[in-house]
Amino acid sequence: MNRRRGAAALETAAALPFLVLLLTATADYAWLALVQHQMGHAARSASRYGITGEADAEPIAEGVQLVAMCDGNGGDGPRLDRIRAVLARNAGTVLKPAGLCLALSAYEGFQAVGQPEPLADINGNGRHDTGEAFTDVNGNGSWDADQALPSPGSSAAVAVYTLRYVTRPLTGLTPGLGRDRDLVFESRVVVRNEPF
């Protein structure tokens, strides 16, 4: 009888680390899936508000922490502030607004998304060199590899909402997801604004 108890204890001791690792990995990956889902939901909600071109006259509730802009730009008016408030509200309890940032890009049409500003590339190197003419689509005075305007866009423009979130794993025990490792998530929504 004592032999059987010893064998059961030995089997349990051998299997326990694997079971603990399996449970922590399940918890960590479930948490990461929930984070990605919540980011997609928040980005879609913000884009649904942004495509209307509205800037509600109603002030944003006091104490609402607006989601930061990824490029550090503090915003350009009530429409952008409202989009940032919608993001913060839809982050839910899963995402911490302090870890979120929003990048906005506006284009004339879908064909322009991610495209460089038109360029007379004389030497064929794919970038602007001194003396080469270009069309300054975004009006910043220099050639850019992406012709986007950093805004939610005007009427009928194509807007790209990129939401980034930095977090840590839930347990930090899963191999490859160390406790001190920052995980960066990104969710992107591309929409055409309504005529407004």
pLDDT tens, position by position, 53-71: 887 666 777 777 889 999 8
Share of the chain above pLDDT 90, in %: 44
**What are the boundaries of each domain within the chain?**
2-113+148-192
Helix, strand, coil percentages (3-state) for the chain, rounded to 5, are 35, 15, 50
For residues 97-104, give the mean pLDDT.
Answer: 90
Confidence (pLDDT) at 179: 72
pTM of the model: 0.83
Share of the chain above pLDDT 70, in %: 93
Spatial CB neighbours of 96, under 8 Å, sequence gap ≥ 6: 167
**Average pLDDT value over all residues in the chain:** 87
Whether the pLDDT of residue 74 is over 60: the answer is: no
pLDDT digits (tens, 9 = 90+) for 131-148: 899 999 988 889 999 999
**Which residue is it, tokens 């005075």?**
141
Q: Among candidates 32, 45, 28, 136, which has minimal Cα distance to 83? A: 45
Bridge partners of 165?
100, 185
Whether the pLDDT of residue 5 is over 80: the answer is: no
pLDDT digits (tens, 9 = 90+) for 16-54: 989 988 998 899 899 999 999 999 999 999 999 999 988
Confidence (pLDDT) at 103: 94
